[in-house]
Amino acid sequence: MDKILLVMGKTTPPLVPRVSRLLSGVGTRLKLARLRRKYSAETVAQRAGITRRTLSKVEQGDHAVALGVYARVMQVLRLEDDLGLLAVDDELGRKLQDAGIVSKLRAPKRTLTTKTQVESELTTRK
């Protein structure tokens, strides 16, 4: 009757060091913003609907934490407008666009034949 259920932890692919440092900086800035406002970790976590442990991961810049959680913490700290600054200046994208690189064209969609179309074809062939 007793079954053992093996549960493997979720693994996330590693990030390049530069991106890890950037996320760590975001976490540090969020923690400093919380401390400047004199909010306790418990207060911010409760208002964001997360645990204190998750808030700690956010403040460490953990890449496994969902972007939505970062957004909720930013909302509690009244920094949600900063989300609009993400990817604002897409330099590489504009250079690619200016270079005229065309993305792959998709194959045309196949048309689905309905049952009535098949039946009408069969009757015309007879």
**Domains located in the chain, CATH noted:** 17-86 (1.10.260.40)
- pLDDT bucket at 125, cuts 50 / 70 / 90: low
Structure tokens of 35? 């401390």
Predicted confidence at residue 24, as pLDDT, reads: 95
Q: Which residue would you say has higher pLDDT here, 126 or 25?
A: 25
The position carrying tokens 């207060």 is: 43
- Residue 100 binned pLDDT confidence (cut-offs 50, 70, 90): confident
Q: Which residue has the higher pLDDT, 124 or 79?
A: 79
Surface-to-core class of residue 55, CB atoms within 10 Å of its CB (0-12 exposed, 13-18 middle, 19+ buried): buried
Look up residue 81 and give its two tokens: 């407008």
Of the two residues 33 and 89, the one the predictor is more confident about is 33
Residue 1 pLDDT > 90, yes or no?
Answer: no
Nearest to 31 by CA among 66, 67, 62: 62
For residues 82 and 76, is the Cβ–Cβ distance under 8 A?
no
Rounded CA gap, 21 and 16, in Å?
9
